[in-house]
Amino acid sequence: MQPLLGPADPAPFTVHNPAGRAPLLLLCDHASKAVPKALGDLGITDEELSRHVGWDIGGLDAAIELSSLLDAPLVASGYSRLVIDCNRWPGGEGSTPEISDTVVVPANRGLTKEQVDARAHACFWPYHQEVDRQLDRMTAGGRKICLLVVHSFTPEMKGFKRPWHVGVLWNDDPRLPGPLLAELRKDAALVVGDNEPYSARDPIEYTLTAHARPRALPHCSLEIRQDLMGTPDAARVWGRRVAEPIRAAVATALA
């Protein structure tokens, strides 16, 4: 298989605060809008790539702030979700979309299995292998930890203005999402979504299903609305706002 990434391309993942001591691993599946040089511009404009279809706006800045405040390791993906979505099963629905929220992606049209596999080999599997490596390290000796994935969401989709400021996504394990919802709702100014604006019960979701469920780790995703995090400073403010609710929820989940 011809390597997709060259020496001038970014790494497929980054690790922040690897020595963090909190019993929590943070992830950011859609941290970057980078595209391998071999794929050019995917046939779209930089303006389109910079929208929510290309990455989770503000997600990485909020996650880095959380990593620092909570003293938790963070693994972040290195490439745009339009190259390959790190929270979708490789080759499955939404993995390399030909159209994403009305944005047509010419470079994703009619991809062969070999082409999808090359993207997965370069940009998807290294990120998820690092997640597993961190989880193996952090759970060594039977240590109990939680897994939290940080996302952001567009304030409007298909004409519907989403009222939530934050959302907690989970499937059937309430140990972390239950206390996190309760802690967030203590802030009367927040509109908090329970499996909104998406649901972690959707079978196309990959990260929590692949990593947390097999290890029986308390887990969920946290979504923050993108218009609240339009600048790095604003994203860091939101990281600070949700840090204490997360800290308290992790303590409850592991008690």
The whole-number pLDDT of residue 160 equals 92
> What sign results for the dihedral spanned by CA atoms 173, 175, 176, 180?
positive
Domain ranges of the chain: 13-254
Over the stretch 67-125, which tens digit does the pLDDT of each residue have? Answer: 999 999 999 999 999 999 999 999 999 999 999 998 999 999 999 999 999 999 999 99
Token pair of 50 as six digits: 């910079």
Between vectors from CA 170 to CA 178 and to CA 68, what angle results, nearest 5°? 75
The pLDDT of 173-196, averaged and rounded, is: 98
- CA distance readout (Å), 47 to 54, 80, 82, 169, 221: 10, 13, 14, 29, 27
Over the stretch 49-65, which tens digit does the pLDDT of each residue have? Answer: 999 999 999 999 999 99
The pLDDT of 156-175, averaged and rounded, is: 96
Helix spans in the chain (H): 46-49, 59-70, 113-119, 125-138, 177-184, 207, 213-215, 232-254
What counts of helices (H) and strands (E) characterise the chain? 8, 11
Beta-bridge mates of residue 219 = 147
Tell me whether strands 24-28 and 219-225 are parallel, antiparallel or unpaired.
Answer: unpaired
Token pair of 65 as six digits: 């702030």
Whether the per-residue pLDDT at 137 is higher than 90: the answer is: yes
The pLDDT of 224-240, averaged and rounded, is: 98
Whether the per-residue pLDDT at 3 is higher than 90: the answer is: no
Residue length, the chain? Answer: 255
| 13-254 CATH fold | Aminopeptidase (3.40.630)
The whole-number pLDDT of residue 84 equals 98
